[in-house]
């Protein structure tokens, strides 16, 4: 009989339910607790809690006030939310190719895509993996280009000891149900630019000076500028706080599963059929994703369908933005980014969550190896 293994399942228990109950029954607000946890883990200069990572992106661009119609370089291998935020801000996404091993922006193609209209570069970190950020900053700082980090997948991922999302002008983290730490939504804007720290809370409060009112600095608050009411809800913060109190437990559990996959598949010589994940020495993995990049799209599909028939959910990842219908409306062509297209057709993510055991990992690996040998 097949063993059913879901791709993802959030790690909720009584601690989460108790926080939600306290929030509903007594009005307990956990937002400051959440900010304290995140400041401690990330070392960010300041943190604002939002309804999601997408709203955090919108918030950044509203405050950054980059010149209209200028260009933001980003990968095509990502979710549409980043490109949507760029377009909503009146800016133009420019897609650069990725490195075939790390699956993050290729610095050489970034250099090729920089023009006199480039105002921002938006690297998307893939779990705990980033590009060489030192090299990126050398390029950007010479030209006065800002760096905005999409660290949606990267809570507890680091670059040379610095939390991903804290090195550029700002960064975002997501707490969507698919992430390691999940409040079924919610996000955070991590700010480094001290000059903007007073501006962003007002933008988040529908453009009012409510933050000053709450601090007792004014007797009433009024509309000061355009803004949006996309602050994280109290219920979301209650769940998120309980999750953050378990983050070491979750990180450790996911590390065990990730290492299990890597050791078993490497010893089984899966490299004859697929490439294992690459984590550069400068990164500290957050164990968000375990994937294989197969030698061909046909092998990937054979393995995916074999796993599905065995009760195991394994998924592809991003469909490239530049080759999508919207990407083509913006003038991009499929052939523009060959590595992105190739990787997207061959990558398969394996199930990994806190409800799995090492025996589940062994079972998944057993099915994969049987499948590739019969492909």
Instruction: For the chain, 375 residues long, give each residue's pLDDT as a single digit of tens.
Output: 678 999 999 999 999 999 999 999 999 999 999 999 999 999 999 999 999 999 999 999 999 999 999 999 999 999 999 999 999 999 999 999 999 999 999 999 999 999 999 999 999 999 899 999 999 999 999 999 999 999 999 999 999 999 999 999 999 999 999 999 999 999 999 998 777 778 899 999 999 999 999 999 999 999 999 999 999 999 999 999 999 999 999 999 999 999 999 999 999 999 999 999 999 999 999 999 999 999 999 999 999 999 999 999 999 999 999 999 999 999 999 999 999 999 999 999 999 999 999 999 999 999 999 999 887
3-state secondary structure of 370: helix
The residue with tokens 């090299």 is 135
**How high is the pLDDT of residue 374?**
84
- The per-residue pLDDT for 323 is 97
Bridge partner residues of 189 (DSSP): 48, 172
Domain residue limits, the chain? 14-244, 247-373
Cα dihedral 234, 238, 243, 248 in deg (nearest 10): 100
Helical residues (DSSP H) of 310-357, grouped into ranges: 325-329, 338-346
Strand 187-191 to 46-50 pairing = antiparallel
Cross-strand pairs, 274 = 294
Predicted pLDDT at 197 = 76
Q: Are 174 and 152 in contact (CB under 8 A)?
A: yes
CA distances, 104 to each of 137, 159, 280 (Å) = 15, 13, 11
Rounded Cα distance between 334 and 328, Å, is 8
The domain over range 14-244 is classified in CATH as 3.40.640.10: yes
Here the tokens at position 143 are: 């030209």
Q: Looking at domain 247-373, which of 3.50.50.60, 3.90.1150.10, 3.40.640.10, 3.40.190.10 is its CATH number?
A: 3.90.1150.10
What's this model's pTM, rounded to 2 decimal places? 0.95
CA distances from 150 to 54, 165, 196 (A): 10, 7, 18
Q: Partners of 14 in the beta sheet?
A: none
């Amino acid at each position: 009989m097949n063993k059913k293994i879901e791709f993802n399942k959030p790690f909720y228990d009584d601690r989460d339910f108790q926080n939600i109950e306290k929030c509903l029954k007594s009005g307990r607000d956990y937002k400051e607790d959440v900010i304290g946890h995140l400041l401690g883990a990330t070392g960010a200069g300041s943190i604002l809690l939002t309804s999601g990572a997408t709203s955090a992106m919108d918030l950044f661009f509203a405050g950054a006030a980059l010149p209209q119609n200028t260009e933001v370089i980003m990968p095509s291998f990502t979710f549409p939310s980043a490109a949507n935020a760029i377009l909503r801000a009146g800016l133009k996404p420019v897609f650069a190719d990725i490195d075939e091993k790390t699956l993050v922006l290729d610095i050489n193609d970034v250099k090729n895509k920089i023009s006199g209209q480039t105002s921002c570069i938006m690297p998307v970190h893939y779990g705990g993996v980033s590009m060489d950020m030192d090299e990126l900053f050398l390029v950007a700082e010479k030209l006065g280009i800002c760096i905005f980090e999409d660290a949606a997948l990267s809570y507890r991922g680091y670059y040379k000891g610095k939390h991903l999302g804290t090195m550029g002008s700002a960064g975002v983290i997501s707490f969507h149900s698919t992430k390691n730490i999940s409040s079924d939504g919610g996000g955070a804007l991590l700010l480094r630019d001290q000059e903007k720290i007073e501006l962003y809370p007002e933008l988040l409060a529908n453009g009012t000076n409510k933050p000053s009112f709450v601090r007792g600095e004014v007797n009433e608050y009024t509309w000061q500028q355009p803004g949006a009411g996309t602050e994280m809800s109290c219920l979301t913060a209650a769940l998120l706080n309980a999750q953050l109190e378990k983050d070491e437990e979750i990180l450790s559990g996911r590390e065990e599963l990730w290492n299990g996959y890597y050791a078993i598949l490497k010893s089984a010589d899966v490299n004859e059929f697929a490439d294992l994940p690459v984590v550069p020495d400068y990164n500290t993995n957050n164990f968000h994703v375990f994937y294989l990049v197969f030698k061909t799209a046909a092998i990937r599909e054979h393995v995916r369908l074999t796993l599905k028939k065995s009760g195991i959910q394994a998924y592809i990842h991003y469909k490239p933005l530049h080759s999508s219908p919207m990407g083509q409306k913006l003038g991009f062509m499929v052939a523009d980014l060959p590595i992105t297209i190739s990787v997207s057709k061959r990558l398969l993510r394996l199930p990994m969550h806190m409800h799995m055991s090492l025996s589940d990992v062994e079972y998944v690996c057993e099915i994969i190896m049987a499948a590739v040998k019969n492909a």
